[in-house]
Amino acid sequence: MTEKPPASAGPGRPKDLAKREAILEAAQVLFLSNGYEGSSMEAIAAEAGVSKLTLYSHFKDKEALFGEAVKTTCETRLPRKLFVLAEGCSIRQVLLDIGHAFQALVNSPESIGLHRVMVAMATQNPALSRMFFDAGPQRLLLDLEQLLSQAKQRGLLDMDEPMRAAEHFCSLIKGAAHFRLLIGYAALPAPGEAQEHVEDCVALFLRAYGIGESSPIAENSAQR
């Protein structure tokens, strides 16, 4: 259920960046610890050390705050600079950098906790689930699709549907380890194991979509 702002919270109030960041941090803490329904705007304002009026001057309702918290987390862990295809870059290295950052994000305690919250809310509030997907996973897929399309145009990769390739890449990186974490079956992979997993996934991805110098065979030949 969407919480509505008090009548005195009108538009046009000054937006203080530090307070906004404090609100987002408080929202993440409470959403993860108490769930979505268990986190009121009053509690988030108190956790952030701001008034409810200030909170509503930044976010019109709890759903908007939730969506922005998800978006901010993803942008912090997966900055846009990772999806920039510079001239002369190694597509393998670009994919490795994205793969490591994505794995660290989806396997983080914050992400695992948020996924559990969304699974619990799926049947109660499907609109919130869609908001979560659009603010987080979908944005990542769109950024990755754009990157893969550029790589195809430059002759670095070859695929008919960049979005499907983006989904393949993310599914490979998440693997079975992510599901084990979600259900509490296992602990986080060791750093060396996590790194090896990403390298294996990128090699497999390039076997499917790599061409010319970006293919594993070409790279191995160049190193001999």
| Tens-level pLDDT at each residue, the chain (224 residues) | 455 555 444 444 445 889 999 999 999 889 888 888 889 999 999 999 999 999 999 999 999 999 898 888 888 888 989 999 998 899 999 999 999 999 999 999 888 988 888 888 888 888 888 888 998 899 999 999 999 999 999 999 999 999 999 999 999 999 999 999 999 999 999 999 999 999 999 999 999 999 865 665 545 544 44
pLDDT for the residue numbered 214 = 60
Pairwise CA distance, residues 102 & 216, whole Å: 22
Domain residues for the domain of 128 are 79-223
Q: How many CB atoms lie within 10 A of CB 173?
A: 24
Note whether 91 and 154 are same-domain residues: yes
pLDDT for the residue numbered 163 = 98
For residue 175, give the CATH number of its domain: 1.10.357.10
Q: Among the three residues 77, 97, 130, which one is the final residue of a domain in this structure?
A: 77
How far apart, in Å, are the Cα atoms of 106 and each of 120, 134, 180, 181?
Answer: 18, 16, 12, 10
Residue with tokens 């959403």: 31
Q: What is the DSSP string of 118-139?
A: HHHHTTT-HHHHHHHHHHTHHH
In total, the chain counts a number of residues equal to 224
Note whether 29 and 58 are same-domain residues: yes
pLDDT for the residue numbered 222 = 45
Residue with tokens 């987002």: 24
Pairwise CA distance, residues 84 & 104, whole Å: 19
pLDDT for the residue numbered 74 = 85
Residue with tokens 């870059």: 89
Note whether 102 and 206 are same-domain residues: yes
pLDDT for the residue numbered 221 = 43
For residue 221, give the nearest of 152, 210, 154 by alpha carbon: 210
pLDDT for the residue numbered 215 = 61
Query: How much is the pTM?
Result: 0.81
DSSP alpha helix (H) spans, 38-188: 41-48, 52-58, 62-77, 91-106, 109-121, 126-135, 137-153, 162-182
CB 98 within 8 A of CB 82: yes
Pairwise CA distance, residues 70 & 135, whole Å: 6
pLDDT for the residue numbered 128 = 87
Q: What would the two tokens of residue 210 be? A: 């790599």
For residue 7, give the CATH number of its domain: 1.10.10.60
For residue 102, give the nearest of 143, 63, 65 by alpha carbon: 143
Note whether 133 and 200 are same-domain residues: yes
pLDDT for the residue numbered 135 = 87
